[in-house]
Copies of this chain bind each other. A is one copy, B any other.
Amino acid sequence: MKKIGFIGTGVMGASIVKHLLSAGYEVHVYNRTKSKTDELVELGAIWKDAPRDIAQASELIFTMVGFPEDVEEVYYSENGIFNGVQSGSILIDLTTSQPSLAEKIYETAKEKGTFSLDAPVSGGDLGARNGTLTTMVGGDEEAFETMKPIFMTFSGTLELQGPAGSGQHTKMANQIMIAGTMTGLTELLVYAKAAGLNLEKVLKTVGGGSAANWSLQNYGPRILKEDYSAGFFVKHFIKDLGIALNEAEKLGVNLPSTLNAKKLYDQLEDAGNGDDGTQALIKLWWEK
């Protein structure tokens, strides 16, 4: 059984490591804040002092950090993965990050005689805990096939979308869709409340027909309970939409609805709500 390294044990990363440990793998872990690995070490994971050390000790190396800058650092800094990686290893970035960075990592990996996959996930805390994440993979078929059983320890849906960067592009497409469902749900509720409707009834009725969607189903009831805790952080959604809009610009396509959504979420963050869940968008109207 190949040794696994895992860099970035935040809420989702930690859940994934637990699935890997449960499946019997030896897992080496590193996280910027060491204390976040304590529970995992108790469960059998092995602490390493830097991404480089993880790379030296492991053959399959996962990264799941915050922003593209963090990915860049974890791979390319002096203590980074590329200064320790063994030839034949597979590097898998689970972070939602720039497609162009995924392509760059792929090229560097190739030069070092290693493989690389970009594999951002969707499904949030709950999906990570239950092992039902949607995992969107870009890279070579060979590396994907090797990784398949390991991805399946934490994925409900898994698909190789195409060459390096395609996993990230698919995740961007996913976030563009969610920008539509979240803004639509928010304005639905804003309108319905202003019109004096019974909001529970409206959500039930509207959610049963051609307006049905996951956000309405899952976030609608939370908004009515004023539960703005994060399944998915506003600040991370803004990062994702920023990447999507940047990429769209590079690709020469205009995404007016996504841009509009990004502006609304920017306003929400500027008002101090970056650590809320994305359903907190309604605060732009209801807390004024």
Q: What is the interface of chain A, defined by CB distance below 8 A to chain B?
A: 99, 122-124, 127, 134, 136, 156-157, 159, 161-162, 166, 169-170, 172-192, 194-198, 201-202, 204-206, 208-216, 218, 244, 247-248, 251-258, 260-261, 264, 285
Contacts and interface: CB of A to CB of B under 8 A. Distances in A.
Nearest to A157: B208
A1 B215 CA distance: 44
A184 B192 contact: no
Contact of A255 (B134, B190, B256): B190
Given A170-B205, A175-B211, 17 more contacts: A122-B210, A122-B211, A157-B205, A169-B196, A170-B201, A173-B195, A173-B206, A174-B188, A174-B206, A174-B211, A176-B187, A176-B188, A179-B184, A191-B255, A209-B214, A257-B257, A257-B260
B244 A191 contact: yes
A157 B206 CA distance: 10
Contacts of A205: 134, 136, 157, 159, 161, 170, 174
A198 to B, nearest CB: 6
Given A180-B181, A257-B260, A197 B134 contact: no
Given A197-B162, A202-B161, A264-B256, A211 B251 contact: no
Nearest to A251: B194
Contacts of A176: 184, 187-188, 191
